[in-house]
Amino acid sequence: MCRVQKQRIPSAALPHQGVDPMQCAASIVLGLQSLVSREISAHQAAVVTVGAMQAGEVYNIVPEQAVLKIGVRALDPAVRAQIERRLQAFVHAQADSYGLKCEVDYRQQYPVLVSHADETAFARGVAVDLLGADKVRERMPTMGSEDFAYMLQAVPGAYMVLGNGTGEDGGCLFHTPRFDFNDRALPLGAAYWVRLAQTFLI
């Protein structure tokens, strides 16, 4: 999250007498995209998303501050660190160029989730045995965050996804207003967990 605050308070009718944090915030929103498109290799994966911009409540008053809430995602810890350094520098430089004060509250949250090879092969084999090879797919890396990543940093394991289906009986992607879990997937998920436990313990 970053916050830009004005030092001189103008009125909406006399904007030249002060500094408008909205202009700086808009410049930051647009400029942040260059951190990925021009500073991260095309062979690396990274996303910078401004999910919220909060400033002012009415049209005829220049707001005193603007708050941006920004999400950063990357598959390589070194890329995450690079973006953090550059985001801090970029936001402060933008604020300074507009004559504003700026605060950046940057928090490292979920680490990258990396499944272990042996455990993944085992879990996949159980799924293939239960469902058939045509029903088991390997997923491409995604930018989704998952707290199970902390578990995989502590012990070897694999992150598996149970398909929710598509079409009339299938649900939409999670974290959307239209998400609807497909109850028909429950017996399949239960059967997989039973087979996984049996295979592991035998």
pLDDT at 167 over 80: no
Query: CA-CA distances (angstroms) from residue 171 to 139, 159, 177?
Result: 18, 20, 11
Using CA atoms, how far apart are residues 159 and 98, in angstroms rounded to an integer?
A: 46
Q: How far apart are CA 75 and CA 146, in angstroms?
A: 13
Model confidence band, residue 140 (pLDDT cutoffs 50, 70, 90): confident
Any residues with CB less than 8 A from the CB of 79 and at least 6 apart, and which? 40, 44, 45, 46
> For position 38, what pLDDT does the model report?
92
Is residue 171 scored above 60 in pLDDT? no
3-state DSSP assignment of residue 18: coil
Q: What percent of the chain has pLDDT over 70?
A: 88
Task: Please indicate, yes or no, whether the overall pTM of this predicted structure exceeds 0.95.
Answer: no
Query: Does the pLDDT at position 137 exceed 80?
Result: yes
Q: Is the pLDDT of residue 136 over 70?
A: yes
Multiple choice CATH, 2-104, 3.30.70.20, 3.40.50.1240, 3.10.180.10, 3.30.70.360: 3.30.70.360
Residue recorded with tokens 């002060």 = 18
Condensed to tens digits (0 to 9), the pLDDT of residues 173-201 reads 677 777 777 888 899 999 999 999 999 99
How far does CA 134 lie from the centroid of its chain?
31
The share of the chain scoring above pLDDT 90, in percent, equals 59
What mean pLDDT do residues 77-89 have? 94
